[in-house]
Each structure stands twice: as C-alpha cells, then as structure tokens.
Chain A
Amino acid sequence: MAEKTYIEAIREGIREEMQRDGRVMILGEDVGAKGGVFGVTEGLQQEFGEDRVLDSPLAESLIVGVAIGAAMNGLRPIAEIQFQDFIMPAMDQIVSEAAKMRYRSNGDWGVPMVLRSPFGGGVHGALYHSQSIEAIFAHIPGLRVVVPSTPYDAKGMIVAALRDPDPVLYFEHKRCYRAIKGDVPEGDYTVPLDRARVAREGSDIAVFSYGMMVHTSLEAAERLAADGFSCEVTDLRSLRPIDRAAIVASARKCGKVLVVQEANLAVSVAAEVAAIIAEECFDYLDAPVMRIGGPEIPAMPYSPPLEDFYLVTPNKVEAKLRELAAY
C-alpha cells in the first residue's frame, strides 16, 4: 500500500474506474489539457481522449445539465464545477432536475452522475474561491452529499459515487489536496456513501466534523490528550444522508459534544447534528452542545488578518474543547 496525497487518491479512483467502465466521462472547465485548475484530472485527457475528458464551455448550468442528460442516456458522467463558489448558476439543474428526476418520474428515470467541486478557504482565495456552502445541498432530498477527508476515503468514495444510481455531490476541501497524505490501497475498493467514521476513539468529548476540519479537530484533540482529556473525533463523511446512528452513539458515550465546521453556523450541518443530539441524547448530556464555525459574514475576506479571523484553527478548537472539558 502506497502513501498518496488526497488529490492523487481522487485521481487514481477516477482513472481506475474510467479504465474499468467505458461509460464514465468527465466534463468541466479546463479539465482537459490543463488537468483542472488544481490538477485533479491531470493526465486523464491524454489517457482517455477528448470525448471522455471534455473541456466544456464556461457555463455551469450547462455542465450539470449535460451530465444529467448524458446520465439518463447511459453514461456515468462526472461534472466538475471549478470552485463550489461558482455552482450557483447550476442550482436549478441540481435542485430542480437532478435531485427530483427519480421522484417525479416515480422511479422510471434517475440521474447517476457525480458532481465534484472543491470548497473551503485558507488559501488566500477571498470571497469567491473559499466558500463552504455544502449545507445548501445537504438540505435537498434526492441528492447525496459527501465530503471525504482522507486519501483512503477520497478514492473509495469517488468509486462508490460513480457506481451509485443517484446524483452524488462530492466536495473536496482544497487544503486537503496536497497537505493530507495517507495510505491508499492499489486497485478496486469502495467506501460506503452514508456512513460516518470514527477518526479517533475517546470517551470525554464527542467531536463531529468533516473535510479539512477533521484534521483540525484531530490536532486539537491531540493537545487535550496531553492533559488527560480524551476526545472522540467522528468524521461525518456524508452530509446527506447523515449517519444519525453514529452521531447518537458517540454523543451518548461521551456526554459532551463539540461540532466543528468551516462554514458559518446558522442553518448548517452543525445545526443538524446539534438537533439530532437534542432529539435523541437529551438524557445523556453533561453539557450544552457546543459548535464552532465561521462567522456570520457573507464569505471569507482576502487580507490575511481578515482571513485568519474567519478560519477555524486548531487553537480555536482547542479553546472550545477546554471550555467543554471544564464544564
């Protein structure tokens, strides 16, 4: 088993599935000769040709709508939206069409497509290259929304997404691409699209997170361990459907809960996790459920002091964990 970066793991999953399944194709802006602005699709057009790795016009509604049509006519398309921030023109195609096709046709039609898009900040991306707007999609029945945080999951989940009969939104935190490395098995394996993963076992505080924030949470948990506090960190992996059983089990076990995300908190994934715990773990709690996330401002600003103000860091998570530990 070789150690690979997160971005290499995504690419390997796509490449191997394209070798196995001639129906898989990619379309998006700059995915061809350039290999995508981050390099996820690097080398794929050379290997699979211009039909299967298709440089699309600069038109997000088109990218998603073409993927929908192609999926209904037998292909397994991957639609790449260059940054999650630019997904808005495709909202109608995602929410009104992809999410509802199976339901509105009473099961006669479906949209087996994958939409990939990078999200998240801390890369000097300013307002329009840093957003974390996954909650908008996690609200929509008919979609699957997944966010792998490790190279192992990144490969296993992209393969699983390509074999799923329904639309899967696969969001990649752009700081994971090269910063996160891990063991990735050779060859074919899948990771379920609807199961959370315990990233670190513990017993005092249950921490729930996803994407890059899993690594931020793990770092903070390690610091608390030095002082004898044991944190259990759960990587949600799937935001819709959300793994209710895993959330309830860890919250009941620990009795104290912190939810960590990069997105702002109002009406967010953290809000849903807190609501599930309120409904199902009331008698088990030793402290109020706490949440940490971005501030309620429109997006992440550019200048370093402003960007730092926005970001959820190991220091901020550590402070919150200590507050909970002392409660």
Chain B
Amino acid sequence: MAMTKTETKGRAGLDAETLRLMYRHMLRSRLTDERLWVLNRQGRAPFWISAEGHEAVQVAFGMNLRPAHDWVAPYYRDLALTLVLGMTPKDHILSGLQRADDPNSGGRQMPAHYGCRRLNIISTGSSVGTQLIHATGIALASQMRGEDAVTFTSIGEGGTSEGDFHEALNFAATKKLAVIFLVENNGFAISVPWQKQMATQDVADRAKGYGMPGVVVDGSDAIACYAVAREAVKRARRGDGPTLVEAKVLRLTSHSSDDDQRRYRNRDELEADKERDSLLRFKATLEELGVLHPGDAEEMRAELVLELDRATDEAEAAPMPSPDSAMLHVYAEEGDWRG
C-alpha cells in the first residue's frame, strides 16, 4: 500500500511505433486545443477550457484503456484522452461552435463537457467530483456481471477537496472495484494554489487511508506516465482493485477562456512552465532515442493541421439546433437509450 514515486529511465520497453503514436496523440490534442482557442478569440466559440499541459498523462491512460470496452468518467480537461479513445477534433469543434451534431450534448452543454455513448464515455456535467462516484457505480455493475472492464475517472486536485472524492475512494477500495482514479494536479483550483487547498504535498498520500495504492508521477514525462497507466490498468483488470494516481501536470493556459491567470500567477513561473512543456520534452526525448527524425514532427503537424482545417470547415457548415428541440430528452423519447 506504500506510495511510490515513479521515475522511468529509458523507454519503459515501448517500441518506436508506440512512442511515435503517443507523440502524435499529444500533438493532435494540442493543435485541437489551439484551434479552439483561436475560434474563441475570433468570437466564434464563446468558451473554451484547455488541456494544454495535461496531454501526456491523458494519452498514457487513453492508450492503455480498451475503447468501448472499458468505461470513462472524465472531467473537463480530458480533451487528449477523448481523442485517443476515438472522439475526433471535429466532435469538439462542433461542441465549441454549439452545433446540433455535437456528439457530446447536441450543443446543450459548454464545450469540454465530454460524453460519447459508443465509446462508454459517460456524459459529464459541471458539478466537480460527482463523476468519481459514478465511476464506482459503473465498476460495481461490471463486477457484478463478472466482466473485466476497467473504469477510469479523473479530476483536478481542486476537486479532491469535494466530499464525493472521499466517498468514491472509500467505496472503491471497500468493494475492491476495478477503478482508476487519476488526479491531474496542475497546482491550481482556478486561482487558488495547492498550498491553500491541502496540508499535504501529495494527494496520493491519501490512498493509504483508503486502503489502495497511491502513485505520484511526473505528468509531463510521457514515458513515465505510460508505465504508471499500464500498471494501474493491469492491476484493475486482474481484479486487484483501485489505484489512485496523481500526475503533477502544468496548466499552460488560464483556467478557461474567461480567466486571465496573469492576475494571480507569477510571470516568471509562467515562462518557466513553457520550457517544461511535455510536448517539447517528449519531442527532445524521442529525437534522442532516434524515434523521431528531423522533419518528422513538422510533417505530423502539417498533416494534423489539414485535418483540423477540414474539421473546422465542416463544423462551421453544420446546422445549429432548432429552438423547439430544447424541449426534447427531458424524459426518454422514442429512440433514446432506455437502459
């Protein structure tokens, strides 16, 4: 039950193809994110809330989960995770532009309130922490049917102050559920630094109190994250119970498009964070390992920008919801999911 600080030297046994794919996933998320910021600043998308700085750990978990077999109860920073699992940049641009075809919510929710039936990504609202308990209920159902599905759920360190965090972890450990709790600790609950939220250095310390392993990982070290994700998923899949993983990540942007973090964060620190960006670090590592060659990253970027241009055009051409459709799906309609 001891908490471990994970460091990975080398490449954690990962082949070149997997490493390249990880980098591509991270870059695709970053570029999608940047596109939504642009649409926001152009006045075309009223709101955006970013995953920039969180990508490495999300990609690591996304690549270790089995899409549509495992279950995911995400939170609003999990853009990269949803893309790895099979959602597309277009899905999220449709949401940003509030279109009827937005698969997350049909334009009903703010962007980054993820959900996708076909991928077992449950719909998320804005109340922080509730999803952790849903994850335990989902895992309980899987366990009762004897299935090997793993349920992944995530939250920021800010959300770990909610009572639901405690209730969910206690229950998951008591029932030995196949749940992974990922805390994406970027050090800020909007503007409040972690030191004002908790008296311990690491959220993962609390795992011991619940009777589950707690792991701290550098969330900007993609390879270390991959190793931790692989172990946590294996442990859950073989029926050994939940794990609390805390990834120390960077929040490279303001909390949301309606926030300006320069009002409460030190400018030198913000500049320093840019140097520690996981994308830069991972690219350098992959070049050092000979996995990425000069020009590879640029080629990938060009291809992904093309995908985003097409996605943006298609999303902008898509229809808005009709006003009277606001009355639908209060209760089950014909054709709705009915359980």
Residues of chain B within 8 A (CB-CB) of A52 are 144
CA distance in complex: A52, B141 (Å): 10
Residues of chain B within 8 A (CB-CB) of A288 are none
How far is the CB of B311 from the nearest CB of chain A, in Å? 20
CA distance in complex: A165, B337 (Å): 8
Residues of chain A within 8 A (CB-CB) of B109 are 104
CA distance in complex: A118, B241 (Å): 34
CA distance in complex: A73, B103 (Å): 19
Return the 9 tightest CB-CB contacts between A and B, nearest first. A69-B137, A65-B133, A106-B106, A112-B339, A165-B338, A69-B134, A66-B137, A105-B123, A73-B141
Partner of B339, one of A62, A93, A105, A110: A110
The answer to whether B140 and A70 touch across the interface, beta carbons within 8 angstroms, is yes
How does the 8 Å CB contact mask read for A131-154 relative to B, with 1 for contact and 0 for none? 000000000011010000000000
CA distance in complex: A76, B130 (Å): 19
Residues of chain B within 8 A (CB-CB) of A59 are 167, 170-171
CA distance in complex: A102, B330 (Å): 7
Q: Which residues 287-339 of B sit at the A interface, judged by CB distance below 8 A?
A: 328-333, 335-339
Q: Which residues 87-121 of A sit at the B interface, judged by CB distance below 8 A?
A: 89, 92-93, 96-97, 100-110, 112
The answer to whether A165 and B122 touch across the interface, beta carbons within 8 angstroms, is no
Q: A57-B167, A70-B137 are in contact. List 10 more A-B contacts (CB 8 A).
A: A65-B168, A69-B135, A72-B122, A96-B130, A97-B134, A105-B123, A107-B336, A109-B337, A110-B338, A144-B331
Residues of chain A within 8 A (CB-CB) of B108 are 103-104, 106
- Hey, which bits of chain A sit against chain B, CB under 8 A? 25, 51-52, 56-57, 59, 61-62, 65-77, 89, 92-93, 96-97, 100-110, 112, 141-142, 144, 165-166
- Hey, which bits of chain B sit against chain A, CB under 8 A? 71, 73, 103-106, 108-109, 113, 115-117, 122-123, 125-127, 130, 133-142, 144-145, 163-164, 167-168, 170-171, 174, 328-333, 335-339
The answer to whether B144 and A25 touch across the interface, beta carbons within 8 angstroms, is yes
CA distance in complex: A65, B168 (Å): 9
The answer to whether B123 and A109 touch across the interface, beta carbons within 8 angstroms, is yes
The answer to whether B332 and A165 touch across the interface, beta carbons within 8 angstroms, is yes
Residues of chain B within 8 A (CB-CB) of A97 are 125, 127, 130, 134
Partner of B141, one of A69, A93, A141: A69
The answer to whether A68 and B134 touch across the interface, beta carbons within 8 angstroms, is yes
Residues of chain B within 8 A (CB-CB) of A61 are 130, 133, 163-164, 167
Residues of chain A within 8 A (CB-CB) of B335 are 107
Residues of chain A within 8 A (CB-CB) of B130 are 61, 65, 92-93, 96-97
The answer to whether A65 and B339 touch across the interface, beta carbons within 8 angstroms, is no
Q: A66-B136, A97-B130, A112-B338 are in contact. Are A75 and B141 (CB under 8 A)?
A: yes
Partner of B167, one of A62, A73, A106, A141: A62
Which of A72, A142, A166 counts the most chain B CB atoms within 10 A? A72
CA distance in complex: A175, B148 (Å): 45
The answer to whether B336 and A51 touch across the interface, beta carbons within 8 angstroms, is no
CA distance in complex: A194, B103 (Å): 31
How far is the CB of A29 from the nearest CB of chain B, in Å? 13
How far is the CB of A56 from the nearest CB of chain B, in Å? 8
Q: Chain A: which residue is nearest B132 at the CB level?
A: A65
The answer to whether A166 and B144 touch across the interface, beta carbons within 8 angstroms, is no
Residues of chain B within 8 A (CB-CB) of A100 are 125
The answer to whether B137 and A110 touch across the interface, beta carbons within 8 angstroms, is no
Residues of chain A within 8 A (CB-CB) of B103 are 108
How far is the CB of A168 from the nearest CB of chain B, in Å? 11
How far is the CB of B129 from the nearest CB of chain A, in Å? 8
Which of B115, B332, B333, B339 counts the most chain A CB atoms within 10 A? B339
The answer to whether A62 and B133 touch across the interface, beta carbons within 8 angstroms, is yes
CA distance in complex: A93, B128 (Å): 11
How far is the CB of B205 from the nearest CB of chain A, in Å? 21
How far is the CB of A267 from the nearest CB of chain B, in Å? 21
Residues of chain A within 8 A (CB-CB) of B144 are 25, 51-52, 75
Q: Chain B: which residue is nearest A77 at the CB level?
A: B137
CA distance in complex: A71, B104 (Å): 19
Q: A89-B163, A96-B130, A109-B115 are in contact. Are A66 and B140 (CB under 8 A)?
A: yes
20 contacts between A and B (CB under 8 A): A57-B174, A65-B130, A65-B164, A66-B137, A66-B140, A68-B137, A77-B137, A93-B133, A96-B127, A96-B130, A97-B127, A101-B123, A102-B330, A103-B108, A105-B117, A106-B105, A107-B335, A107-B336, A107-B337, A112-B338
How far is the CB of B18 from the nearest CB of chain A, in Å? 30
Residues of chain A within 8 A (CB-CB) of B113 are 104
Q: Chain A: which residue is nearest B144 at the CB level?
A: A51
The answer to whether B329 and A102 touch across the interface, beta carbons within 8 angstroms, is yes
Q: A51-B144, A69-B136, A109-B122 are in contact. Are A102 and B332 (CB under 8 A)?
A: yes
How far is the CB of B95 from the nearest CB of chain A, in Å? 11
How far is the CB of A14 from the nearest CB of chain B, in Å? 17
CA distance in complex: A141, B105 (Å): 17
Partner of B333, one of A57, A62, A107: A107
How far is the CB of A88 from the nearest CB of chain B, in Å? 12
Q: A57-B174, A59-B167, A108-B115 are in contact. Are A65 and B137 (CB under 8 A)?
A: yes
Residues of chain A within 8 A (CB-CB) of B73 are 69
How far is the CB of A323 from the nearest CB of chain B, in Å? 39
Residues of chain B within 8 A (CB-CB) of A106 are 105-106, 108, 328-329
The answer to whether B167 and A102 touch across the interface, beta carbons within 8 angstroms, is no
CA distance in complex: A299, B177 (Å): 40
Partner of A66, one of B126, B133, B333: B133
Partner of B332, one of A67, A77, A92, A166: A166
Q: A59-B171, A70-B141, A103-B330 are in contact. Are A110 and B336 (CB under 8 A)?
A: yes
Residues of chain A within 8 A (CB-CB) of B133 are 61-62, 65-66, 68-69, 93
The answer to whether A92 and B127 touch across the interface, beta carbons within 8 angstroms, is yes
Q: A51-B144, A102-B331, A166-B331 are in contact. Are A66 and B105 (CB under 8 A)?
A: no
How far is the CB of B172 from the nearest CB of chain A, in Å? 10
